Structure 1
Amino acid sequence: GLHVGLGLIIVPLVIDKLWSVMPKLVELPPVRSPAHALERLSLLALVGGLLFEIVTGVLNIQYDYVFGFDFYAAHYFGAWVFIAGFLVHLGLKVPLMWRTLRSESLMDVLRARNEAPSRPHQTMSRRGAIGLVAAGMGFVAVLTVGQTVGGVLRKAAILLPRGRSYGDGPNDFQINRTAEAAGVTEEQTGADWTLSVESTSENMEPVVLSRGRLLSMTQHTAELPIACVEGWSTTQSWTGVPLAELAALAGVPAPRSAEVISIEQGGPFGRAVLQGNQALHPDSLLALKVNGVDLSLDHGYPARVIVPALPGVHNTKWVARIVFRS
């Protein structure tokens, strides 16, 4: 939530900075020397990378993928373009800053008379501009942080799709992907649902477990967060069967990895691969309940995976199979 929240909060600051340097960006002639050309290229990477990160990031948190390319890869490389532009620009400007600072004695500057420079008529003072930007940043913060911190600010998170309420009770927390969007129905998750626990070993038969059987096994409760790449996070109390117990039941007490397969077909949410250390963590669960009650269908009923420090997209919902690899 911190990454996305800060990204939105600095938008007024970015707009103000672009407004202040715009005369430099459009100055003529555009290139005066090889060094100046390199500076212009660094500005292109710096400004272009920054705007690309903000625009694609805002579209991503709204699930609006109009750009037609993989967001995660593009956002990652866009960040490196911005960093490269920033470092080149800094490398070009630091020598100029150093020469300027050394051109005058510090004591001469301190002894100089304080004379106000002549300047054209201002429509806003510097303090007014800074105050306006600060107020804009604060206003955006109020409209965004509610989806992460919750409480009274949750209803104010109107800029983000997960700030709203999902009903009363223990299942009232953010939902990244609903059962309807995933094509998962109550018929698929009803009384006939079973979990298949499998091993890649040819000598082991799959173990098929009903939800009742899972509830009769050793239950473990852990306070764990779901942190999504779209910027929201929520911490809840999850209860279920440790994945380590299911691995042992499959005949793989020390798995190299575990593939979790959902009822949902296809797409990035349909399956996830956990590393062995993730599957064996004592708080890694096949969760059956949350906050003391059964999971709702939108939260993954009849069973979902919840693993510490794992992005939300890999905490698979509506689990149908788990394949442990030795």
Structure 2
Amino acid sequence: MGDRRRFRRLRLPDSLPASLPGLSSGRAAELLERTPSAPGFWRSPVRGVRFTAVLGLVLLGGITLLFVTGLLSYAAYNPDLNPVNDKTPDKGVLGFYLFAWPTGPHWLYRLTQGLHVTVGIVLTPVLLAKLWSVVPKLFALPPARSVGHALERLSLLLLVGGALFEFITGLLNIQLEYLFPGSFYPLHFYGAWVFFAAFLAHAGLRTPQAVRVLRSGALSGNVPGDALASPSPAEPTLSRRGALAMVGAGSLLLLVTSVGRSFDGPLRRIALLTPRGAAEPGPGPNGFQINKTAATVGITPAETGEGWWLTVSGPAGDLRFTREQLLAMDQYSAALPIACVEGWSTSDQRWRGVRLKDLAELAGYPGNPPGVLVESVQRSGPFRRAALRDNQVRDPRSLLALQVNGKDLSPDHGYPARIIVPAAPGVLNTKWVSRLTFGDL
């Protein structure tokens, strides 16, 4: 009873009247105590600055890694090379860091994008727990005590809104890759910059305090003046250590059921929560993961059958080659994976075909070939045309692939010919190639 009487004597927020029309001040105070703005509304004994500090420091490292690997993923598309690669043409100064994406190591994009997606999935329980731990502050009154306080609340709004937006759009794109056809890139790119700006401001203000809180004592106790701890906590059913263990277990479960889409063997078979997990798409040399099938994009056998030819353009003019003529050229092999923006990847597959630099020489560029614009038989959809840099063309592992793992490409893997380039995002490994235009891009 003592705690309840003391709680009822709490002063009403300055921004609210001492009484409401038709109610006594005591009755008004009692009603206000039942709203989310009242400190006693939130009664979980788990909440506290120490619990929140642990989650915050985990997110500090994790979200920084997400941001860096996300920027690397954007750079891997070489958006400053050619408009066909650039899905955020109005980025302005936000593209200040872009650089020529390298071709080595050949698993580079597989690593960076696999980390980006896996860490994002694993951090989801941590983010939700962190938002739950600070939700009382979102309802605190008055909404602004000063200009500085108002700016801080605004940064929190951007932080919470940005975090939810980035995680939700990212998770939906992993699960339903065609939900944001073409629009996912600008949505996620610009949203990331807004969110990370708010994140940096918040981290700069709160990280020193979080470190001090964790150094001050055991996790189970409350810090004097703890603004997140309930003034009248309910009976505990779970300790703070137990709550953190539950969050960690959730993250571990998501890791085990998602990371396998980047590996072969048992881990892929239990990747239940991500596409391109579980069973491979059929047996045989072409039995590895596919991004888009020929049927999905409307590729017909008539377009890729005996009447197909490849046009190679450059200073030597337009040259045409049938598949038989390409097979008669010097053939080279390269063991390379396919890695996609959704985070899935294959193991190294053994590709065989004509080197891009040899085709550039036929087009009239001996020695140091320039970049190339690749066009597909595919008539609609993103990345049916893609540009590759000169360093990608020069790499001896960059092929116009005609076979994989000792057999002809299947229609879904790009028959009669596809591009395969080390360390490039999967969408730049164009399938059903119809034209290569070498020159300044």
Q: TM-score, normalised by structure 2?
A: 0.66
**Aligned residue in 2 for 1:194:** 309
Looking at structure 2, the residues matched to 97 and 134 of structure 1 have their Cα atoms a distance apart, in angstroms, of 19
**Aligned residue in 1 for 2:39:** none
Alignment match of 2:372 (pick from 254, 258, 261): 258
The answer on whether the counterparts of 2:173 and 2:180 sit within 8 Å (CA) in structure 1 is no
1:211 aligns with 2:327: no
1:155 aligns with 2:275: no
Shift of the 302–95 alpha-carbon distance from structure 1 to 2, 3 Å rule, reads closer
1:92 is displaced (CA, Å) by 3.3
Looking at structure 2, the residues matched to 321 and 68 of structure 1 have their Cα atoms a distance apart, in angstroms, of 24
- 1:194-244, Cα deviation, whole Å (9 max, x unpaired): 111111x3xx33221111221121111111122211111223121111001
Looking at structure 2, the residues matched to 186 and 16 of structure 1 have their Cα atoms a distance apart, in angstroms, of 52
- 1:26-59, Cα deviation, whole Å (9 max, x unpaired): 2122222222112111111211111111111112
The answer on whether the counterparts of 2:261 and 2:271 sit within 8 Å (CA) in structure 1 is yes
The answer on whether the counterparts of 2:416 and 2:432 sit within 8 Å (CA) in structure 1 is yes
1:120 is displaced (CA, Å) by 4.2
Instruction: Report how many aligned residue pairs link the two structures.
Output: 313
Shift of the 74–153 alpha-carbon distance from structure 1 to 2, 3 Å rule, reads same
Moved more, 61-70 or 143-152: 61-70
Structure 2 counterpart of 1:219, one-letter code: Q
Q: TM-score, normalised by structure 1?
A: 0.88
1:65 is displaced (CA, Å) by 5.4
Structure 2 counterpart of 1:166, one-letter code: P
The answer on whether the counterparts of 1:300 and 1:317 sit within 8 Å (CA) in structure 2 is yes
Shift of the 312–66 alpha-carbon distance from structure 1 to 2, 3 Å rule, reads closer
Higher RCO (C-alpha 8 Å, min separation 6): 2
Structure 2 counterpart of 1:239, one-letter code: R
1:66 is displaced (CA, Å) by 5.0
- 1:155-192, Cα deviation, whole Å (9 max, x unpaired): 22222221142001221211111101111112221222
1:92 aligns with 2:205: yes
The answer on whether the counterparts of 1:59 and 1:65 sit within 8 Å (CA) in structure 2 is no
**Aligned residue in 2 for 1:78:** 191
The answer on whether the counterparts of 2:159 and 2:198 sit within 8 Å (CA) in structure 1 is yes
Secondary structure in structure 1 of the residue aligned to 2:337: strand
Alignment match of 2:245 (pick from 131, 136, 143): 131
**Aligned residue in 2 for 1:140:** 254
CA RMSD of aligned residues (A): 2.5
Structure 2 counterpart of 1:89, one-letter code: H
Moved more, 236-245 or 70-79: 70-79
Alignment match of 2:128 (pick from 12, 15, 23): 15
Structure 2 counterpart of 1:126, one-letter code: R
The answer on whether the counterparts of 2:297 and 2:381 sit within 8 Å (CA) in structure 1 is no
Shift of the 313–19 alpha-carbon distance from structure 1 to 2, 3 Å rule, reads same
Alignment match of 1:172 (pick from 277, 287, 311): 287
Deviation >6 Å, runs of 4+: 95-98, 115-118
1:237 aligns with 2:350: yes
**Which structure 2 residue ranges, 5 or more long, are not aligned?**
1-113, 223-231
Secondary structure in structure 1 of the residue aligned to 2:304: coil
Looking at structure 2, the residues matched to 151 and 137 of structure 1 have their Cα atoms a distance apart, in angstroms, of 22
**Which structure 1 residue ranges, 5 or more long, are not aligned?**
none
Looking at structure 2, the residues matched to 177 and 67 of structure 1 have their Cα atoms a distance apart, in angstroms, of 15
Shift of the 35–70 alpha-carbon distance from structure 1 to 2, 3 Å rule, reads same
Looking at structure 2, the residues matched to 172 and 97 of structure 1 have their Cα atoms a distance apart, in angstroms, of 50
1:81 is displaced (CA, Å) by 1.4
**Aligned residue in 2 for 1:31:** 144
Looking at structure 2, the residues matched to 182 and 27 of structure 1 have their Cα atoms a distance apart, in angstroms, of 52
The answer on whether the counterparts of 1:194 and 1:320 sit within 8 Å (CA) in structure 2 is yes
**Aligned residue in 1 for 2:85:** none
The answer on whether the counterparts of 1:221 and 1:237 sit within 8 Å (CA) in structure 2 is yes
Moved more, 236-245 or 265-274: 265-274
Alignment map for 1:264-279 (pairs within 5 Å): 264-279=378-393
Shift of the 11–95 alpha-carbon distance from structure 1 to 2, 3 Å rule, reads closer
Shift of the 187–311 alpha-carbon distance from structure 1 to 2, 3 Å rule, reads same
